[in-house]
Amino acid sequence: MRQIENMFSKSCEYGLKAVIYIASQSLEGKRIKIDDIAEKAGSPRAFTAKILGTLTKFNIINSLKGPYGGFDIEIKRMKEIKISEIVFAIDGDSIYNGCALGLTECNAQEPCPMHENFVQIREELKKMLETTTIFELATKFNSGESILVRKDRIAS
Amino acid sequence: MRQIENMFSKSCEYGLKAVIYIASQSLEGKRIKIDDIAEKAGSPRAFTAKILGTLTKFNIINSLKGPYGGFDIEIKRMKEIKISEIVFAIDGDSIYNGCALGLTECNAQEPCPMHENFVQIREELKKMLETTTIFELATKFNSGESILVRKDRIAS
DNA sequence: ATTATTTCAGACAAATTTATCTTAATATAA
DNA sequence: TTATATTAAGATAAATTTGTCTGAAATAAT
Ligand code: SF4
Ligand code: SF4
């Protein structure tokens, strides 16, 4: 059965990791190709490519076809964009109305038994997503403070 | 693409709603049948039955076959059991080691870029799950303070 | 213009989750 | 002990998510 750990869908995980890596390279002035992204983020290439297509449509990243092409993101932009926008582009806005117990919608007037407990955490999650920028994450990655793939996976 | 709203899997949602309903009926001294549970919790009958099988094995609820059979839970037990135990029985213990970005495990020594932001929320979620009892939720439901199915769904 | 390189788009396939169905096992009452 | 009511278990099916593949479109260099 499914794991609660999966706060994000795989699509979202891959999208976030890819954007973090693209941004980290853009910080160093490099445009980066999908093959490199897939490798460095430890994500399936074709699937990641599809997700990057979506993110390009949402103007979260830039893409350029052809030789010397690839993906990048302006430093100004990575400071503006919150990770909530990436989650929104990939998984939609359901975080704003989803119900812990799967009721058709969240409604405080007629709440499910878990409402009070749940809403509190959902608000904190929203706040986190809406205040964390790509720049922040990319900087952390670039400085070596954090990683995108565990060694045991790189090895394979 | 998948929705982040789904904090819990469908299995877990159905399990939680079913247990809340069983408990609410046990509070009134009634043992309750699967058909009634499925209807009152707005969940698919056969699927719910399977989940209740799991919860019975984990001794979260009691089941009795035959006429006058069904499911129930002792009041003492519903005061003891935290919803984390239901989540654990159905979705496993991954909440304790899952990574927001899908790394093979969570490791603060070698964190992913979202670690700090994520861990904070995960801890609050854990705390919520580990302090909320079935009794608390069932009481809230019994008193009419909360619901398990939205009207627009009952209608169908 | 031609060629090489790259993303883009859509069809396809595999894996997982969700859901149903059918039969067996068990308990109760008469 | 028989008939009935119920859960248990396992096979199967549908839906969704995840993943791959192939060819088209765009870009740059020569
Ligand atoms: S907890 Fe209640 S109000 Fe909140 S989403 Fe669930 S049903 Fe809606
Ligand atoms: S946020 Fe970092 S430490 Fe936490 S689970 Fe993800 S990779 Fe592991």
The helix (H) or strand (E) run that includes residue B129 is helix B115-131
B156 pLDDT exceeds 60?
no
Residues in chain A: 156
Q: Is A95 in the pocket of ligand 1 (CB under 6 A)?
A: no
- pLDDT of A47-77, one tens digit each? 999 999 999 999 999 999 999 999 999 999 9
Q: Is the pLDDT of residue B154 over 60?
A: no
DSSP-assigned letters across all residues of A27-47? TTT--B-HHHHHHHHT--HHH
Choosing among 3.20.20.80, 1.10.10.10, 3.40.50.300, 3.30.2040.10, the CATH entry for A9-150 is: 1.10.10.10
Q: Is B133 helix (H, G, I), strand (E, B) or coil?
A: strand
> Phi/psi at A133 (nearest 5 deg)?
-100, 160
* More reliable by pLDDT, B105 or A69: A69
Of chain B, the percentage scoring pLDDT greater than 70 comes to 91
Asked if A69 and A51 count as a contact pair (C-beta separation under 8 A), the reply is: no
CB contact under 8 A, A97 and B5: yes
Pairwise CB contact (< 8 Å): A95 & B150: no
* 3 state DSSP class of B144: coil
- Listed residue (B83, B3, B86) closest to A104, CA to CA: B3
Cβ of residue A46 lying under 6 Å from some atom of ligand 1: no
CA distance B106 to B8: 20
Distance (Å, rounded) from C-alpha A13 to C-alpha A5?
12
> What tens digit of pLDDT does each residue of A71-124 get?
999 999 999 999 999 999 998 877 777 777 777 677 888 888 998 898 899 899
Q: For residue A155, what pLDDT band results from cuts at 50, 70 and 90? A: very low
For ligand 2, whether the C-beta of B122 sits within 6 Å is no
pTM of the model: 0.90
pLDDT at B2 over 50: no
- Give the one of A2, A98, A148 whose C-beta lies nearest to B3's C-beta: A98
Distance CA A147, CA B3 (A): 26
> Residue B114 CA: which ligand 2 atom is closest?
1
* Cβ-based burial of B107 (10 A; exposed 0-12, middle 13-18, buried ≥19): middle
Q: For chain B, give percent helix, strand, coil, nearest 5.
A: 55, 5, 40
Q: Which ligand is nearest to the CA of B132?
A: 1
Quote the ligand 2 centre to A148 CA distance (angstroms): 9
Answer yes or no: do B104 and A152 touch at CB < 8 A. yes
Q: Give me the residue spans of the domains in chain B.
A: 9-150
B51 CA → D3 C1’, Å = 29
Q: What is the pLDDT of residue B4?
A: 44
Is residue B84 helix, strand or coil?
helix
pLDDT reading at A133 higher than 90: yes
User: Does the beta carbon of B99 lie inside 6 Å of ligand 2?
Assistant: yes
Expressed in angstroms and rounded, the spacing between residue A128 Cα and the centre of ligand 2 is: 15
pLDDT of residue A29: 96
Nearest to A150 among B1, B104, B125 (CB): B104
Q: How far apart are CA A120 and CA A75, in angstroms?
A: 33
pLDDT higher than threshold 60 for residue A16: yes
* pLDDT one-digit tens code per residue, B26-81: 999 999 999 999 999 999 999 999 999 999 999 999 999 999 999 999 999 999 99
pLDDT band at B100 (very low <50, low <70, confident <90, very high): confident
Mean pLDDT for chain A overall? 88
Q: Token pair 């490099």 is at which residue?
A: A30
pLDDT, position B66: 95
